[in-house]
A and B are shown apart, each in its own frame.
Chain A
Amino acid sequence: MNPALLLFSSSTLVHLSPVDLVIIIFYFALVLAIGLYLKEQANTGEDFFMAGREMTAWVAGLAFLSANLGSLELMGWAGNSYKYGILAAHWYWIGAIPSMLFLALIMMPFYYVCKTHSVPGYLKLRFGQDSQALSSISFALMTVLMSGINMYAMAVVMKVVLGWDINFSILVSSVTVAIYVALGGLRSAIFNEVLQFFLIWAGALLIPILGLIEAGGWDGMKAKILQNLTEQHAANPGAYTHLWSTLGNFGDNPMGINWAGIVFGLGAVIAMGYWTTDFLVVQRVLSAKDLRSAELAPIIGAAFKMLVPFIVILPGLLGLALLRDPHTGSLLHLVPADLAWSKEGQAQGLHGYDEVLPLMLARYCGPGLLGLGITALIAGFMSGMAGNVSAFTTVWTYDIYGALINKNATDEGKVRMGRWVTVIGVGISIGTAYLVMHAQSIMDYVQALFSFFIAPLFGTVILGMLWKRATKAGGFWGLLAGTLSSVGMYAWGKLDPSSVRYLALSDKAQDQAQNMFRALWCWLICVIVTVVVSLMTKPKSDEELKDLVYGLTPIPKQAHVSWIQSPIFWGIVVAIVFLILQVIFW
């Protein structure tokens, strides 16, 4: 019997062997052992919340990247590359590399010199407590929601792929995360993120290698995709394998977006906002042992980020080229998750876009390799949860509890609070996981959360760092206006779907295109309101802005380092490779 038939003939995608289970159980035992081992090294606030600020550039850089490399991301973008083609790689290249370099070389000195514990902490120093309270409360809300979404997404994937009970998956993953983060704090989260980074590469790298062998190389894959194109895109055959050449018009590519949406909406706002102000990722860099390590960490992260499409985007494209229905031999058409996971979809044996990675895993991986691939997915989900929970714990303890509730809290009290809040945060995340079970589309909520909070926050932080005339009132009202306008545009889009022609400039715009333009508009609103209000209100003196604003912050002289150790040199190298990739896949 054809093995693929077995895969599709049951209600689950794959069946694990005892060897696979041994690998999965070993992973859980290892992360708990790491948490127990690190407990003794998480006694002070600096240890628990900032990992002692002693991470090397490599560890901070890999954790910085891994905090974003969760399974929701891996499976979601592999699915998006099946749906949108190579355009999905923009989220790894222009949607990451320039902003990571900007964080490293422009923004990191400010974060590092002012010794803040968090991004809301920087806002307090720059714009006062109102802005800190607004951003910390919205960030805390976003992180527990994201953690719950990660938890639920993992449980659904485990159910669809392995047939595991949803409640069992949520319970096991949440208890494990709560134990190892509560014991070891940020250091424990970072250790597990770096471990996850290696597991993901070990578990996923074989898929593109074997896929390219089966497809006959890159050219063979492109030829097969051309054969499989739907009528809709047959008129524009380059749409799935070219990055830029189909972005002249909204209708020429599967995403319904143009170059302006990608460059300004994604590259200049969403990516800049996420990689430079989302405390989940910035916290990893702040744990670096010195300024040079803090600058190098995002550059190291950027170098590896450029490689991630090889294990995420390429498997999606290979799925488009190779996956066939084992019963009929015809092209296997993956469908939106809502349809695939509905009762009707399950009855028809449909598979969602997001299942392309597990489908490819099952196609090539036998006993042992399959267990490693599934472990990589579980590790990705759990570190996604742990990242959100550890960031939530820090922001709650320093920016809400320490700033608003108990201003005289001792360091020991903050660590104790941090451990309890970790457990409570996981508990709230479990509640959120059950809440989003009723949501129609998980990714819809994820993208909406980002555009609500991250895009306007970037406007406030960047003006605060680069424009000394920005005032306390300007920062607060700009942030509030940006956030409310984003929520308003989202609600308008839901209530009146035809509004897409105004919000995204084209009635052809798909979900991702709408997200990009909504982020761009709310960022602009934030910036305009901040500038107008600032010009009408009294600015702080230069003395008060020392160490917070460009031009008023003396950057510490670094010990003499050779050019090959210089962050600027490696930043230029990464930028050149980034440009070469754009040309190759133009």
Chain B
Amino acid sequence: MKSGGSLSIWFFIGISLAFNGAVICAAGIYELMYPPVNQVVLYNLHANVWWGAVLLVLGLFFSLRFSPARERARMAGNS
């Protein structure tokens, strides 16, 4: 999306997903190493590890695909 500047909305979404994914994945790995006393239902599936990883990969894809440098290059190519 053209935002009038060099930052696309998809870049912001990528940053958000990547940050949240990294934090969730890290929290899940910590739980793997130090299992909590009070575990959620289906803890054995370690959802925070793989779901955090999915969000991180998706976020990195959006962040890189719509990075400011790429957007500037694209806009320069269009003009």
A residues with CB within 8 A of B: 1, 3-4, 6, 17, 19, 22-23, 26-27, 30, 34, 37-38, 40-41, 47, 52, 54-56, 58-59, 187, 190-191, 194-195, 198-199, 202, 206, 210, 213-214, 289, 362-369, 371-372, 375
Contact = CB atoms under 8 A, between A and B. Distances in A.
A31 to B, nearest CB: 9
Contacts of B71: none
B3 interface: yes
B71 to A, nearest CB: 13
Contact of A206 (B12, B28, B47): B47
A281 to B, nearest CB: 18
Given A23-B23, A30-B16, A195-B13, A364 B47 contact: yes
B47 A59 contact: no
Contacts of B51: 206, 369
Nearest to B27: A368
A214 B41 CA distance: 9
Interface of B: 1-5, 7, 9, 12-13, 15-17, 19-20, 23-28, 31, 36-43, 45, 47-48, 51-52, 55
B8 to A, nearest CB: 10
Nearest to A55: B1
A368 B3 contact: no
A365 B42 CA distance: 9
Q: Which 4 A-B pairs have the closest CB atoms?
A: A368-B24, A368-B27, A41-B4, A3-B38
Nearest to A372: B20
A198 B18 CA distance: 12
Contact of A59 (B9, B16, B24): B9
B9 A366 contact: no
Given A191-B9, A213-B45, A366 B36 contact: yes
A182 B20 CA distance: 27
Contacts of A202: 17, 20, 55
Contact of B3 (A17, A187, A198, A199): A187
Contacts, number: 113
Contacts of B19: 26
Which has the most chain A C-beta neighbours within 10 Å: B9, B25, B37? Answer: B9
A369 B9 contact: no
B39 A3 contact: yes
Contacts of A37: 5, 7
A366 B40 contact: yes
- Among A1, A41, A214, A365, find the residue whose CB has the most chain B CB atoms closer than 10 A: A365
B66 to A, nearest CB: 12
A38 B16 contact: no
A52 B5 CA distance: 13
B28 A368 contact: yes
A23 B51 CA distance: 15
Contacts of B12: 30, 34, 191, 195
A129 to B, nearest CB: 34
Contacts of B45: 210, 213
A23 B39 CA distance: 21
12 contacts: A1-B37, A17-B27, A19-B23, A26-B16, A37-B5, A59-B1, A187-B3, A191-B12, A206-B51, A362-B40, A366-B43, A368-B25
Contacts of A214: 41-42
Nearest to B41: A363
A213 B42 contact: yes
A191 B11 CA distance: 11
Contact of A364 (B13, B20, B41, B55): B41
Given A19-B23, A52-B4, A202-B20, A368 B40 contact: no
B32 to A, nearest CB: 11
A198 B48 contact: no
A437 B24 CA distance: 35
Contacts of A365: 40, 47-48
Contacts of A54: 2, 4
Nearest to A370: B40
Contacts of A367: 27, 31, 48
Contact of A210 (B1, B31, B37, B42): B42
A198 to B, nearest CB: 5
A54 B8 CA distance: 13
Contact of A363 (B26, B31, B38, B40): B40
B38 A6 contact: yes
Contacts of A375: 20
Contact of B48 (A1, A27, A369): A369
* Interface hub of A19, A22, A47, A367 (most chain B Cβ within 10 A): A367
